[in-house]
């Protein structure tokens, strides 16, 4: 054991002497600074990675919300199109009903007009006949008046 203990002691002594020299000491400090820099960069990049993941999660949540909003708007657009179609169909049906009703009323008014026109033609014919009869009666009246106003004729002797 003394050999291994001596070998260790010798190695330890060599390392201790080497570290007392300025170049190895400077290299050791530079190595320590390098490892500290690596640790800081690793910690910093980990923090940045976490921040980027959080930002990415927020962006993903916004994307999902935007997709949901878009789907809602598309559904509302489809509903609006369906309602507009139903309204147009209802308006067309009511316009058709109104047109048919108005055509029926117009046909009835045409029938009434034709009936009254025939009645008026009959009344005009009666009026014409009555005027002719009146003219004849006026002529007879005038003749009767002339006879009455004429001096009586004396009997022949």
- Please write the tens of the pLDDT for every residue from 4-39: 778 888 887 877 776 666 666 677 788 889 999 988
What pLDDT shows up at residue 13?
A: 80
- Please write the tens of the pLDDT for every residue from 53-105: 999 999 999 999 999 999 999 999 999 999 999 999 999 999 999 999 999 99
DSSP 156: P
What pLDDT shows up at residue 63?
A: 95
Q: Following DSSP, what letter does each residue of 19-60 receive, concatenated?
A: HHSHHHHHHHHHHHHHHHHHHHHHHHHHHHHHHHHHHHHHHH
The pTM is what? 0.43
Nearest in space to 66 (alpha carbons), one of 104, 110, 113, 58: 58
Contact 18, 24 (CB under 8 A): yes
**CA-CA distance, 107 to 75, in Å (whole number)?**
47
**CA-CA distance, 12 to 4, in Å (whole number)?**
12
Which token pair is 115?
A: 């009936």
Is the four-CA dihedral 135, 137, 138, 139 of positive or negative sign? Answer: positive
- Please write the tens of the pLDDT for every residue from 1-11: 567 778 888 88
- Please write the tens of the pLDDT for every residue from 128-151: 999 999 999 999 999 998 888 877
């Amino acid at each position: 054991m003394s050999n291994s203990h001596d070998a260790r002691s010798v190695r330890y002594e060599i390392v201790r002497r080497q570290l007392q020299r300025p170049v190895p000491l400077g290299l050791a400090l530079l190595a320590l600074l390098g490892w500290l820099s690596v640790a800081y960069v690793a910690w910093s990049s980990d923090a940045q990675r976490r921040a980027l993941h959080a930002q990415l999660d927020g962006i993903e949540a916004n994307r999902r919300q935007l997709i949901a909003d878009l789907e809602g708007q598309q559904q509302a657009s489809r509903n609006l199109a369906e309602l507009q179609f139903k309204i147009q169909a209802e308006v067309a049906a009511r316009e058709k009903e109104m047109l048919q009703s108005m055509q029926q009323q117009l046909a009835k008014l045409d029938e009434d007009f034709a009936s009254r026109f025939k009645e008026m033609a009959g009344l005009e014919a009666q009026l014409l006949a009555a005027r002719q009869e009146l003219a004849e009666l006026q002529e007879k009246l005038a003749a009767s008046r002339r006879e009455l106003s004429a001096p009586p004729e004396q009997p022949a002797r």
